[in-house]
Amino acid sequence: MVLVAALLHRPPPRPSVDASLHIWVLFSTLIVLGASATLFPHICGRAAVRAEALDPSRTSTLLGVRAVHGHHPLCGGFQGHELAIGGKTFCAGCVGLLAGAASALVGATLHFVYGFTYPPPAPYIGLGLVALGLIHVPALRTNRPILRSFLNAGFVTGFALILVGANEVGGPGLALMVIGMNIFWMFTRVQLSNWDHEKICLSCGYRCLAEKRGPDA
């Protein structure tokens, strides 16, 4: 993050329209794939419970496709990780990531497609949002799932703000580097979340149903 912040001080070049559109296509594709992962966690990674075995309140079927929006174990330790809305249970983190993906997609499109220019502090605000998203997992112990949602939404929105600033200051080269950093930051965020979940399970005195079902559960 310090390196990205330092590079944002470079004098602005004049990136070509074609190069900027290529950056937008790449970033948008990654954002859409990431948004899809929040709805199908059982496909993108090892889920605690199979999608078909989940409580009906944790899944929804749209156009014949079953989306999973509540995938944490039914355990008090994960009470602060899920939102209850209209009789349905939603993963607070995934809700935030999905909202952040929509925000990032709109923000990137406004800049790369429609030429909207963000104020100079925008990329630094983005760096701050990403830092908060990475720090809050090991540092925050809260039973307020809405806070998790907001922090995750800001985390992904920060990707777009940093990317826009990088494209304006350093052109496509710096923008590509930032996209690579975005992937690294997201991977780090997922790993921190996994470790947090493991700590909760290890501190629990009961064996989860997922453990009894075996490694493929």
Give the separation between CA 191 and CA 183, rounded to whole angstroms. Answer: 12
Q: If you search the block for the tokens 């009470």, which residue do you land on?
A: 79
Q: Which range, 72-81, 107-116, 207-216, has the best average confidence (pLDDT)?
A: 107-116
**178 band by pLDDT with thresholds 50, 70 and 90:** very high
Residue type, 130: V
Give the separation between CA 159 and CA 182, rounded to whole angstroms. Answer: 6
Both tokens of 164, joined, read: 């826009």
Q: Is the pLDDT score of 16 beyond 70?
A: no
142: left (phi over 0), alpha (psi -120 to 50) or beta: beta
**212 band by pLDDT with thresholds 50, 70 and 90:** very low
Question: pLDDT tens across 121-135, in order?
Answer: 999 999 999 999 888
CA distances from 85 to 37, 71, 147 (A): 21, 15, 15
Report domain extents, the chain. Answer: 2-213
**90 band by pLDDT with thresholds 50, 70 and 90:** confident
Greater pLDDT, 188 or 12: 188
